[in-house]
Amino acid sequence: MKDSNRELRVGDVEQRILFIRGEKVILDADLAAFYGVPTKRLNEQVKRNKGRFPADFMFELTGLEKDEVVANCDHLAKLKYSNTLPIAFTEHGAIMAASVLNSQQAVEMSVFVVRAFVKLRQTVLQHGELGRRLEELEHRLGSHDQQIVALVEAIRRLMSPAAAPVRRRIGFGGGEL
C-alpha cells in the first residue's frame, strides 16, 4: 500500500475517534465499517468472545451519550433511529475486535486503527508540552513586566527636571535668590 493511501486511511480513522467518558474511543458502527463487516456481525462476535473484552476495552453508551454523539457527528445520524445503544471501543478493544473477526480486511485495518490512536496520542502529548511551555513563558513574562515597569519609572525619574539647586548670592548679604 502506498504511503499517501496509508495516511489517508489513518486520517479517516483518526477523524472517527471520539472522546467519551475521558477515553478515546471508536464506535462499533465506524469500526465495523473499517473492518468491512456489518455492525451486527461485529457485535455478535464481541458477545461470543466476552472474555476478551473487559470494561477497559469497551463500554456501551448511555441514551444521553448516544443522543450527544448523533447530534455532534453527522455520519452517525442513522444511529438516531437504532433501538440498540452503540458500543464504544478503546484502542485495545478495537485491536481485539480485529482478532475475533478473523477477516483479512479486519487484520489490515487494525494496523491503521492502531496508527490512528498512536498519532492522536502523540498530538495530545505535543499539545500538552506546548501548553506547559506557554505557561512557563507567561510566568517569565510576568516577572519581566514588573522589571520593565521599574525600568520605565527609573527612566522617567531621570528625565524629569530636578529641582534647581539653591544658589547663594555673590557678595554681602548672603541671602538666597
Q: Each residue of 108-131: pLDDT tens digit?
A: 777 777 777 777 777 767 777 766
10 Å CB burial of residue 114 (0-12, 13-18, 19+) is middle
Q: pLDDT tens digits, residue range 136-152?
A: 766 666 666 677 767 77
d(CA 157, CA 83): 77
CB count in 10 Å sphere of residue 49: 14
Separation between Cα atoms, residue 119 and residue 27, nearest integer Å? 18
Span between the terminal Cα atoms of the chain, in Å: 97
Rounded distance between C-alpha atoms, residue 127 and residue 53, angstroms? 31
> From CA 102, how far away is CA 35, in angstroms rounded?
10
Which CA distances in Å does 65 have to 10, 58, 68, 139? Answer: 25, 14, 5, 39
Phi, psi of 18 (to 5 degrees): -110, 160
Torsions phi, psi for 161 (to 5 deg): -65, 135
The pLDDT value recorded for residue 4 is: 40
Residue 88: the pLDDT is: 93
Check if the beta carbon of residue 48 is closer than 8 Å to that of residue 29.
no
pTM (predicted TM-score) = 0.58
